[in-house]
Amino acid sequence: MNFKDKVVYQVYPKSFQDSNGDGWGDIKGIISRLDYLKDLGIDVIWFNPMCISPQRDNGYDVADYRQIDPRYGTNEDFLELSKACKERNILIMFDMVFNHTSTEHEWFKKALAGDKKYKDYYIWRKGKNGSYPTNWQSKFGGPAWEYVPELDEYYLHLFDKTQADLNWDNPEVRKECADIVNYWISKGVYCFRFDVVNLISKYTVDEDDPNNFDGRQFYTDGPRVHEYLKELNADSFGNVESITVGEMSSTTLENCAKYANEDGKELSMVFTFHHLKVDYKNMKKWELQPVDFMQFKKLMNTWQTGMEEKGAWPSLFLNNHDQPRALSRFGDDKNYPKESAKMLAAFTHLMRGTPYIYQGEEIGMTNAYFTNISQYKDVESTNIFKLLKEEGKSEEEIYHILQERSRDNSRTPMQWDDSANAGFTDGEPWLQVQENYRNVNAANALKDEDSIYYWYKKLIGLRKGYKVVQEGKYVPLFEEDDQVLAFERKLDKESLVVICNFYGKEKKIVFNAKGYEILLSNYKDSNIVDLRPYETIILYKKD
């Protein structure tokens, strides 16, 4: 299916819209908001996992891949959602978590009970010298192995200890996964996101990480991952008109050129994260440094041109449910919220690739800035809080870090209006609403024709109206400039130029704009010479 003309919107179901007052978003709530999304102009909705789960990692710990979790509704409700989306010409993208299952999954329970067939669905090792099989750390902190006394063995979990890694070298596991995809295809789902899918094939699980780190070199982009993805493609979504995206953790351009090659043998596109680590000190998520803009720009340019040269297709995003809000991170959510949100959106939507909008970014939602650990709900944040405390950091310092980095920052409930709990729920929300909801909300955005919301609508309109946005070649401009990120998209006689001032200060530029018209700008009367704080200008010409 063509995806170059499409825009994806990500719904975090738990925080989108509650319909029954239990403080959790649900499917009926989502249905009641579909017209809002239709008006925005999006084509696909990616839903974070809604299947049965103990919710230790908010649904990324799946206990039954074929049943909707009752907290979200029923399978019948899902069919209703599917019908309502179809009526609006919106596609549904499901999130398939296949690197691991919850330890509550029946496969794992059978494994624990000693059933050999199911034990081999997971990755087990004996301890070494009375300790863990290797020194690997889980991505959420702590060891990546959990001991099971009854079996006198450890199982591998790259994430939380309730997320046991599946053994993809077992053909039965691969078949189960293809069957699950086919099940959802039979229910009318044609788009899939595959969670951390470049971790499914491990080189080895028996070697210590020489750098005393998490062991990622032994399981990232592993030896058989391309083979497994080709097989999954051939056995499931490759047989229908589909759109797929793989979440690729710490990957390389060479591998992504294969994962997302336009030959269609693996996936339609990839999510990569190098550009979202430019404020990690020493590449460590919990060590802060200001955004390294030159590194950011270099990464964008390298990946944009590299993927194009290799005939592969990227996803475009700065936000998702695992990232702090881009407006708070790359923009200025206090002094220039509107200007910087619009600039960041122009930059994201007009590069080569498929743009993803994370719920709330289209109205300028910001980080949560919680000040007490009781407000944080994410397992990663609560683990890290403990670990950083053990390391001797002060609470003040830890809160500062969490305010910048916690995944809860982006998970606060969608801000619909200025009524109690931002119109998200009549009950007690599972995660506190960000206090700025009285101003920052969808109802206000819809009333203001200059709002961030309408800017997104215009950007989506550009994608639909201009082939150069969909297919144009990417050419970096102003490569050495330490304040401006700019690029040209070129297709036959068309040229689109996007200029973004990434800082809250003015800047003079030299650009020969002869023959260009201004399609959009986030300030009135741009002169294409004096850029104002966070100014962005989109220019177009056709010879």
Q: Which residues are catalytic?
A: 195, 247
Q: How far is the CB of 69 from ligand GLC (least distance, A)?
A: 15
Largest pairwise CA distance in the chain: 75
In the 3-class helix/strand/coil scheme, how is 295-353 assigned residue by residue? HHHHHHHHHHHHHHHCCECEEECCCCCCCCCHHHHCCCCCCCHHHHHHHHHHHHHHCCC
Residues near ligand GLC (CB under 6 A), total: 9
Give yes or no for residue 57 binding ligand GLC (CB under 6 A).
yes
Residues 6 or more apart in contact with residue 327 via CB below 8 angstroms: 333, 337, 340, 341, 344, 361, 364, 365, 366
Nearer to ligand GLC, 321 or 489 (CB): 321
Q: How far is the CB of 517 from ligand GLC (least distance, A)?
A: 40
The CB density around residue 421, as the number of other CB atoms within 10 Å, is 19
Give yes or no for residue 214 binding ligand GLC (CB under 6 A).
no
Site for ligand GLC in 260-319 (CB under 6 A): none
Q: What are phi and psi of 446, to 5 degrees?
A: -70, -25
Nearer to ligand GLC, 161 or 342 (CB): 161
d(CA 147, CA 113): 15
Closest residue by Cα to residue 366 from 423, 427, 415:
415
Per-residue binding letters, 170-199, with ligand GLC (x by CB under 6 A): -------------------------xx---
The CB density around residue 530, as the number of other CB atoms within 10 Å, is 11
Q: How far is the CB of 526 from ligand GLC (least distance, A)?
A: 38
Q: Are strands 354-358 and 8-11 parallel, antiparallel or unpaired?
A: parallel
Rg (CA), the chain: 23
Contact by Cβ (8 Å): 137, 238: no
Contact by Cβ (8 Å): 537, 518: yes
d(CA 486, CA 496): 11
Q: How far is the CB of 247 from ligand GLC (least distance, A)?
A: 6
Closest residue by Cα to residue 303 from 336, 346, 339, 351:
351
Give yes or no for residue 93 binding ligand GLC (CB under 6 A).
no
Nearer to ligand GLC, 321 or 405 (CB): 321
Residues 6 or more apart in contact with residue 391 via CB below 8 angstroms: none
Q: How far is the CB of 58 from ligand GLC (least distance, A)?
A: 7
Give yes or no for residue 97 binding ligand GLC (CB under 6 A).
yes
Nearer to ligand GLC, 46 or 516 (CB): 46
d(CA 218, CA 206): 9
Among 24, 60, 145, 455, binds ligand GLC (CB under 6 A): 60
Per-residue binding letters, 149-168, with ligand GLC (x by CB under 6 A): ----------x---------
Q: Nearest-CB residue to ligand GLC? A: 60
Nearer to ligand GLC, 71 or 463 (CB): 71
**332: which 2 tokens?**
């200025």
What is the CA 116 to chain-centroid distance, rounded? 36
Nearer to ligand GLC, 14 or 71 (CB): 14
Per-residue binding letters, 481-520, with ligand GLC (x by CB under 6 A): ----------------------------------------
Q: Nearest-5° angle of CA 362, CA 368, CA 369?
A: 135
Q: How far is the CB of 77 from ligand GLC (least distance, A)?
A: 23
Nearer to ligand GLC, 320 or 425 (CB): 320
Burial class (CB in 10 A: 0-12, 13-18, 19+), 478: middle
Among 214, 322, 361, 362, binds ligand GLC (CB under 6 A): 322
The CB density around residue 413, as the number of other CB atoms within 10 Å, is 29
d(CA 177, CA 186): 14
Nearer to ligand GLC, 98 or 124 (CB): 98
Q: How far is the CB of 199 from ligand GLC (least distance, A)?
A: 9
Q: How far is the CB of 97 from ligand GLC (least distance, A)?
A: 5
Residues that bind ligand GLC (CB under 6 A): 57, 60, 97, 159, 195-196, 247, 321-322
